[in-house]
């Protein structure tokens, strides 16, 4: 695979294509130890070495980040009103990053950030039924009858019942608030909140703790992120179908 030098460096967050042209003119960029012929010079990432101000700049086609979304930000690339999940990343971040799926404004938890559209499609495709698990605190007493109703599917005002979901009761620390985990295999709008509303209860706090084989990293604080490990990427790829490499 060959790629233009200016795109190579812009993709890796060195600057815009116009900025890269300026760096080339100022002799701050070298290709295999030599001055490039221009921004249009073709680079083979596997064999060529590109440096900026004396530092080698490796090229990675796709990037994958495990992000702990805090409440109060939206799962979007841009927004006129609210802070977005990408606002937690550096301004010179990799171009093309986006959140895979959405969490509500007030919902916390695991969100995958990537520029790999194929993997994102595989994770979100309705036919894949990728499981997503949430921890929630719910007003009222969640009962075994609720567990059974969730397992059978609920009417949340759509043409079909929700797919069967696994509701688990956790030990309660407050008589008026139930602590639960819920695993669903769909991604309908406000689905978890609407499911509890269907049984006469209200979600007070919601956090996604897993998506497919990915689990929220306990070492991350809200607003923090890290790269997926090679093992995590391999596992999520195997569970959702082939993804592009690199």
CB 217 within 8 A of CB 66: yes
Q: Which residues pair with 136 in a beta bridge?
A: 180, 206
Which contacts of 89-98 are long-range, i.e. CB under 8 A and separated by 24 or more positions? Answer: 89/65, 89/113, 89/225, 90/13, 92/13, 92/14, 92/15, 93/13, 94/11, 94/12, 94/13, 94/63, 95/10, 95/11, 95/13, 96/11, 97/63, 97/65
User: Quick check: is 48 catalytic?
Assistant: no
Q: Which of 87, 104, 106, 217 is catalytic?
A: 104
Longest dimension (CA), the chain: 72
Helices (H), ranges, the chain: 5-11, 17-25, 117-124, 144-152, 191-198, 230-240
Q: Which residues are catalytic?
A: 104
């Amino acid at each position: 695979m060959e790629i233009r030098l200016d795109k190579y460096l812009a993709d890796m967050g060195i600057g815009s294509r116009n900025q890269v042209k300026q760096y080339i003119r100022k002799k701050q960029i070298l290709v295999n130890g030599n001055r490039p012929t221009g921004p249009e010079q073709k680079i083979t990432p596997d064999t060529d070495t590109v440096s900026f101000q004396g530092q080698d700049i490796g090229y990675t086609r796709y990037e994958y980040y495990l992000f702990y979304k805090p409440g109060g930000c939206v799962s979007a690339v841009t927004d006129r009103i609210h802070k977005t999940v990408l606002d937690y990343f550096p301004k010179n971040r990799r171009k093309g990053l986006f959140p895979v799926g959405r969490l509500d404004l007030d919902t916390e938890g695991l969100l995958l950030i990537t520029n790999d559209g194929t993997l994102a499609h595989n994770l979100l495709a309705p036919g894949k039924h990728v499981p997503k698990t949430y921890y929630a605190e719910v007003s009222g007493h969640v009962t075994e009858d609720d567990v059974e109703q969730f397992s059978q599917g609920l009417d949340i005002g759509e043409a079909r019942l929700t797919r069967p979901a696994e509701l688990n009761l956790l030990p309660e620390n407050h008589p008026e608030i139930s602590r639960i985990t819920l695993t669903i295999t769909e991604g309908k709008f406000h689905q978890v909140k609407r499911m509890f509303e269907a049984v006469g209860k209200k979600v007070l706090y919601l956090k996604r703790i897993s998506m497919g084989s990915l689990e929220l990293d306990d070492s991350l604080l809200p607003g923090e992120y890290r790269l997926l490990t090679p093992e995590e990427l391999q596992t999520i790829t195997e569970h959702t179908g082939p993804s592009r490499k690199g």
